[in-house]
Amino acid sequence: MEANIAYYCLHKLHRWPHEFLSLDRYEKAVVIAAVELKLEKDKKEAQKARSKRKR
């Protein structure tokens, strides 16, 4: 899981993975929660766009 979030940090947040990995566990938890919320929002928006295209 941490590796996936570190990868996301590199490609989407333009931060080095070691910056994420060096955070304490509470800071990591905040970053992980924010990334998960963002991914859920993106997923819902994609589903919404797909349903509009079908109409």
pLDDT of res. 35: 92
User: What is the C-alpha to C-alpha distance for residues 47 and 12, in angstroms, rounded to an integer?
Assistant: 21
pLDDT of res. 2: 83
Is residue 55 pLDDT above 70, yes or no? no
More confident residue, 31 or 53: 31
pLDDT of res. 1: 80
What's the predicted TM-score (pTM) here? 0.78
Domain ranges, ordered by start, for the chain: 1-54
Provide the CB-side half-sphere exposure for 35 (13 A, CA): 20
Block residue for tokens 């993975």: 17
Block residue for tokens 């993106």: 42
Question: 13-35, pLDDT tens digit by residue?
Answer: 899 999 999 999 999 999 999 99
Reported residue count of the chain is: 55
